[in-house]
Structure 1
């Protein structure tokens, strides 16, 4: 694992302690929870399949977020290197 991935995973910085109090985020989360509750109340027999789906989706999002973090960090580093070049 490289240092950028370690930073993303919180091994170097407490990334996991971030708490989002954004109203837009809260509204979207409330909508998600309501839809999930309605779905599982309507079709309780799909609970196990839904849990598998959710776990797979979380894993994909985690992999994507890590890669986007690494790419963003690299772009930032390239910007710094460009800024350090002498003006011609």
Structure 2
């Protein structure tokens, strides 16, 4: 199991990024959340199979067609401390 927190920078709000991200997370069987930040970035926490997490991290670097991702900051977390039962789109 892998747990990571992502901060996705660029034009990522108002372009359907959270919904797009959540669809991939659910399809890959991941748990966690995605949410907008006041800074204009998007934050996501992913918990799941190493390969599935790696795949979504790579997809996050591109995003949906209307997004313009400039950077993805990745912080590895202790997976045993992260408890989620599903994947959620969080509202601020």
Taking structure 1 as the reference length, the TM-score comes to 0.26
Higher relative contact order (CA 8 A, sep 6+): 2
Which of the pair is proportionally richer in helix? 1
Greater C-alpha Rg: 1
Taking structure 2 as the reference length, the TM-score comes to 0.25
Which of the pair is proportionally richer in strand? 2
